[in-house]
Copies of this chain bind each other. A is one copy, B any other.
Amino acid sequence: MKIALTLAFTSLSLLASTLTTQATEAGLKPIPTSKAALMKLIDDPKNKITDLKTELGKKLYFDPRLSKSGLISCNTCHNLSEGGDDGVSAAIGHKWAMNPHHLNSPTVYNAVFFDAQFWDGRAKDLEEQAQGPIQAHPEMAATKEHVEATVNSMPEYVTAFEKAYGKDVKIDFVKVTDTIGLFERTLVTPSAYDDYLNGKENALTTKQKEGLKTFINKGCATCHTGISLGQSMNAFNVTATYKYQDVGDFKGDANGMVKVPTLRNITQTAPYFHNGKVWSLKEAIIEMGRIQLGTEISDKEATSIEEFLKALDGRKPALALPMLPASTATTPQSDMN
């Protein structure tokens, strides 16, 4: 009996170690457990993360007055109470405008692990990305001047910037968006999957381990790889007869490359794909196999992969709801047009 148990234990350990090795070989990497190792990954040497900057960035992230209408904040489309996105097909912005390319809002959680932002990867980091939606007319529709006037009109913001960056800080558009980007760098959600890759054998259920194996064996990790379980830019098969290719005109970047979205918290970020036309995770898995991998993923395999993907539901940072400074006589008033 004792021998049998020992044998069973050994073969289980072997299976586990084989699977983590397989995952590593497939390019999958966990979010590190040590804070120092994580900071090395997420910090920006040009603008070091501090508590004061993070708190300020959070306020700005939640402040709808950065938008022309005074109603739309970063959190409107990248809702931190949801999956870090908005749960709708295509982003809706100023005057209820839909994203002109019918593009779906990607999650901000773990976006720091990409070295290109936006579906076509045109921004190199979160700081550069943050400049886009604030100014885009179908999103927050603001000008740089509006943002600068708004933030500088509130003494509480000015003081917070001075405390975070020093008395000589110039609160311009780039400083505001850099601070928002810095806050976004901290939005990291380690999960049971990370615990498993970091050595906790029992962090995943047997079904989830099987799902991980299927995920790797079917080739999903070719594109959904690294810490992000995505990839900054990869070839995008636009020639395949994609089920919903008639929705939106997105064709990737100039080279037909597209950012492979993260699978972290994927159970919370429906609808799926760049045009947000697929609401079922299982359907998304099967469709990706067909189009991007040229392989059939059976219903059973898709169920197994889906089971693994549930292990990517992360532990979100606990955030206190920010309390924003009151507007003053010089704060630009909302403009609905």
Using a CB–CB cutoff of 8 Å, the interface residues on chain A facing chain B are 62-65, 69-71, 76, 79-83, 86-89, 92, 95-96, 98, 267-268, 270-271, 279-280, 313, 316, 318-324, 326-327, 329, 333-334, 336
> Out of B62, B280, B336, which one reaches A329, CB within 8 Å?
B280
Chain B positions within 8 Å of A92 at CB level:
69, 71, 336
> Out of B64, B82, B318, B334, which one reaches A89, CB within 8 Å?
B334
Most chain B Cβ neighbours within 10 Å, of A82, A280, A322: A82
A327–B270 touching, CB < 8 Å: yes
> Out of B62, B69, B86, B267, which one reaches A71, CB within 8 Å?
B86
Chain B positions within 8 Å of A313 at CB level:
326
A88–B318 touching, CB < 8 Å: no
> Out of B86, B267, B334, which one reaches A326, CB within 8 Å?
B267
> Out of B81, B83, B326, which one reaches A83, CB within 8 Å?
B326
Which B residue sits closest to A265, measured CB to CB? Answer: B326
Given contacts A71-B76, A280-B329, contact A324 B82 (CB under 8 A): yes
In the complex, the count of this chain's copies comes to 2
The answer for the CA separation of A27 and B323 in the assembled complex, in Å, is 31
B64–A79 touching, CB < 8 Å: yes
> Out of B65, B70, B81, B267, which one reaches A321, CB within 8 Å?
B81
A96–B95 touching, CB < 8 Å: yes
**Least Cβ distance of A181 to chain B in Å?**
19
The answer for the CA separation of A270 and B69 in the assembled complex, in Å, is 14
Chain B positions within 8 Å of A316 at CB level:
323
Which B residue sits closest to A329, measured CB to CB? Answer: B280
> Out of B271, B321, B329, which one reaches A333, CB within 8 Å?
B271
The answer for the CA separation of A321 and B322 in the assembled complex, in Å, is 8
Which B residue sits closest to A86, measured CB to CB? Answer: B71
Chain B positions within 8 Å of A70 at CB level:
86-88
**Least Cβ distance of A67 to chain B in Å?**
11
Given contacts A319-B320, A319-B321, contact A65 B87 (CB under 8 A): yes
The answer for the CA separation of A336 and B267 in the assembled complex, in Å, is 22
The answer for the CA separation of A92 and B271 in the assembled complex, in Å, is 25
B81–A62 touching, CB < 8 Å: yes
Chain B positions within 8 Å of A280 at CB level:
329
The answer for the CA separation of A323 and B317 in the assembled complex, in Å, is 10
**Least Cβ distance of A112 to chain B in Å?**
19
The answer for the CA separation of A196 and B322 in the assembled complex, in Å, is 27
Which B residue sits closest to A77, measured CB to CB? Answer: B71
**Least Cβ distance of A61 to chain B in Å?**
10
The answer for the CA separation of A333 and B320 in the assembled complex, in Å, is 29
The 6 closest A-B pairs by CB, nearest first: A96-B96, A268-B326, A88-B334, A319-B321, A81-B324, A321-B321
Chain B positions within 8 Å of A83 at CB level:
326
27 contacting pairs across A/B (C-beta < 8 A): A62-B81, A63-B81, A64-B79, A65-B87, A70-B86, A70-B87, A70-B88, A71-B76, A80-B321, A83-B326, A87-B327, A87-B334, A88-B334, A88-B336, A95-B96, A96-B336, A98-B336, A268-B327, A270-B327, A271-B333, A279-B329, A279-B333, A313-B326, A316-B323, A318-B320, A320-B320, A320-B321
